[in-house]
Amino acid sequence: AQKVTQAQTEISVVEKEDVTLDCVYETRDTTYYLFWYKQPPSGELVFLIRRNSFDEQNEISGRYSWNFQKSTSSFNFTITASQVVDSAVYFCALSEASGRDDKIIFGKGTRLHILP
């Protein structure tokens, strides 16, 4: 069965600090996709990244970076120099990459508070 665990329910940091959101996943599939979504207070789901299980290269996009480690089944997300606008709930998620089943399984989310 597929499962995504985000152990950090809530995190508070002061603006300009770096913060890392942890994500650990379980799957029996050999090919799969990992995602991160941001959900601000307005409620929409904002797509941040999709990573194929074959691509273990870390990725950086501005202040955001992702560390994918297949050996530990982790896909952690770091925000550098955090800003108040980063305050949101962040979801890590997983889906199959092969076959017809492509529903997305979400973790419980981490609520991030960036304090001014």
Partner 1 sequence: AAGVIQSPRHLIKEKRETATLKCYPIPRHDTVYWYQQGPGQDPQFLISFYEKMQSDKGSIPDRFSAQQFSDYHSELNMSSLELGDSALYFCASSFFRKRAAKETQYFGPGTRLLVL
In the complex, the residues that contact partner 1 under the rule CB under 8 A are 33, 37, 43-45, 47, 50, 52, 91, 95-97, 100-109
Residues whose CB is less than 8 angstroms from the CB of residue 71 and which lie 6 or more positions away in sequence, other chains included: none
> What is the nearest approach in angstroms of partner 1 to the Cβ of residue 15?
25
Give helix then strand counts, H and E, for the chain: 0, 12
Phi, psi of 92 (to 5 degrees): -95, 145
Q: Which is closer to partner 1, CB of 35 or CB of 82?
A: 35
Q: Which is closer to partner 1, CB of 15 or CB of 64?
A: 64
Q: Which is closer to partner 1, CB of 11 or CB of 15?
A: 11
> What is the nearest approach in angstroms of partner 1 to the Cβ of residue 101?
6
> What is the nearest approach in angstroms of partner 1 to the Cβ of residue 16?
28
Coil, strand or helix: which one is 94? Answer: strand
| Residue 58 to residue 49: CA distance in whole angstroms | 11
